[in-house]
Structure 1
């Protein structure tokens, strides 16, 4: 769910020359919520939040009606309900979303094998090899949207551009349920009208720092000397943003490999500076990973922590367990230790993620440790049964319980 600022001027037509725009970014609109609305059509037009109930956990998705009230992904449920108390809350069902996501990717796979799955609800396609068979990039984008809507009943927005970065920006501005082409020759003009906060990695703090120097839009950012940007943002962030502001993004579409891990990560529009808030996000992610492992009948041996700071420096730390696990308590014990040893990045955390690798089937022969209690996983498996019957919000770790704040007068 993108919360970056947009500019209505960027939504206009930039021309119809798609001869040099082989990159498509397909982004499902409010994916989890859209899938839930297939089963609850009576909720269409109402604010719907997918996440934990009764102030537990964080928001996983929200309809555009809920977003209008300031609800966004990774926000605590308590804060979301304070902002939009009339919202209908539905529990997260990762298994359902994974199955629908696989169907979406099957549609995209019919276009080209050069497909990079970015997350459960978005992907990049390089359609340069599909032109002779399916037509121009714009024709292909129309085909994708029609097929996804016709087969699955879901809206998808598509951005078309010459680079991955601009294609993603285009799909963001095409939302909801739209298509936007940015011809190669119009790339700089498109970028110039955007607020600086629309750039990847520019949150509130960075935007305020840039604004102090009079840099509030991409046009000004692009015209600013990179040495001045280094003084404002630091070396890595300065060069990163300077390149993007000029439409420079040489990354190719990378074919996604078969998943050999289970993980989840969250990118925050406003960086997290409070370590306890970061710890709660990680705990929730550990429970999501563990639940998915148990759901598909697998266990993992290696636990990985991923963190990205406001300075765009990304670090990963991992530790291998003596025996594979599918329990959040084991995963979080490792994540917490790795996180405690991680220095606080300047400006806070922009991204946090948890991943479990080295997967094996839960029913494979695994030698138990001599002191292992086979009942130690009973509470989490019992919680699985409760959620299966009463919904994901029916039970949650006590650390994720946060009392809703009283409404302001």
Structure 2
């Protein structure tokens, strides 16, 4: 493991909800969530800590959140305000390093290995960043400091809210021994249950387990689990992340039950998808198109097809295949997207075409 890097993961505390409580003091101390209204079938975007005591979480359907907390305050959210504050926070980061990898409006990795401020102490730099964020925005942030990315992210969650956790290089091995595998980014509920079924609960358990058995069971992600469990994460901080896809989806006010109804929704989404591709990726080549359906029981399915354009007849065929997987269940969400070639691949394709290669055969 490389132990010379100094990585900080900064994560704002319940960001959207915190902004609303800052701007509207009457919300403070009460369960609050930013998300879909009581009349629509949206999902919770962010909840404050009072709401989390009731089990309200991000990505939870609004109706489920209201069952858990009937007196939950719901606000629609003000995305432009959040974006403006995110720019303020980014400007603070840039005082300490140019190597910044935003994960969302409220979360980012920073590589401060070469920062000379505070005698090069990543711990003091993280404290200074959090202090300045609060001074400028009146919002709190938590931070994790570690020699590798995944541990910095794990650490930022340990002392939330408004806290900080540092894992020095010499303490990495000891920290990993008791780290639950569910803390590894990408290990969700299903994967955790599979691991527990194999008797694997902590990184120490994986360290002592047969490598080939894990690879056979989990494929490429098995490699990730093994590497993280041994403290291996050589991923660099990526300052520019290239868009991999463009998509649009809609959660319906009421379930629909026929293919014809789904097709009507799809046609509208295709028009919006074309506009979004034109706005957000006008110079990028399409490599596939994808249709997504979420059924009334919240199970979702996707069907994709390799293509170099948005093709409505083909999308309708994909929709039909996805619809059949529901076996008559209601549809609550319809989505459509395209996957994009990387910029490098696009340039290579242009060269190949100039040489006379035909990609349609």
User: What's the TM-score once normalised by structure 1's chain length?
Assistant: 0.62
Q: Max radius of gyration: which structure?
A: 2
The 8 Å contact of residues 9 and 143 in structure 2, kept in 1 or not, is answered as yes
List per-residue Cα deviations over 1:378-407 (Å, max 9, x = no partner): xxxxxxxxxxxxxxxxxxxxxxxxxxxxxx
Residues 245 and 264 from structure 1, CA distance in 2 versus in 1: closer, same or farther, beyond 3 angstroms? farther
Q: In 2, distance between residues paired with 1:154 and 1:337?
A: 48
Provide the C-alpha distance between the structure 2 equivalents of 1:45 and 1:316, rounded to a whole number of angstroms. Answer: 49
- 1:239 and 1:89, CA in 2 relative to 1: closer, same or farther beyond 3 A? same
* Structure 1 position 74 matched with structure 2 position 63: no
Shift of 1:131: 2.4
Is residue 2:28 matched to residue 1:44?
Answer: yes
Structure 1 residues without counterparts, runs of 5 or longer: 1-18, 266-275, 308-314, 323-329, 345-351, 358-409
Other structure's SS at 1:214 match: coil
Match of 1:118 in 2: 103
- Counterpart of 2:202 in structure 1 is 217
Out of 133, 144, 152, which is 1:148 matched to?
133
Deviations along 1:327-349, whole A, 9 cap, x unmatched?
Answer: xxx9xx998876777899xxxxx
Q: CA offset at residue 213 of structure 1?
A: 2.0
1:96 paired to 2:59: no
Q: 1:326-379, CA deviations, whole angstroms, 9 ceiling, x for partnerless residues?
A: xxxx9xx998876777899xxxxxxx996899xxxxxxxxxxxxxxxxxxxxxx
Provide the aligned C-alpha RMSD in A: 3.9
Alpha-carbon distance, 1:316 to partner: 10
Tell me how many residue pairs correspond in the alignment. Answer: 294
Structure 2, unaligned runs of 5 or more: 250-256, 293-303, 326-334, 341-361
TM-score (norm 2): 0.69
Is 1:27 the counterpart of 2:39 in the alignment? no
How far off its partner does 1:92 sit? 2.3
Identify the residue that residue 15 of structure 1 maps to in structure 2: none
Contact kept in structure 2, 1:20 and 1:183, CA below 8 Å: no
> After the TM superposition, which segments of 4 or more aligned residues of structure 1 sit over 4 Å from their partners?
257-265, 298-307, 315-322, 333-344, 352-357
- Which protein, 1 or 2, shows the higher relative CO under an 8 Å CA cutoff with sep ≥ 6? 1
Which residue pairs with 1:197 in the alignment?
Answer: 182
Whole-Å separation in 2 of the counterparts to 1:150 and 1:135: 22
| SS of alignment partner, residue 46 of structure 1 | coil
After superposition, the Cα gap between the structure-2 partners of 1:353 and 1:102, relative to the gap in structure 1 and judged at 3 Å, is farther
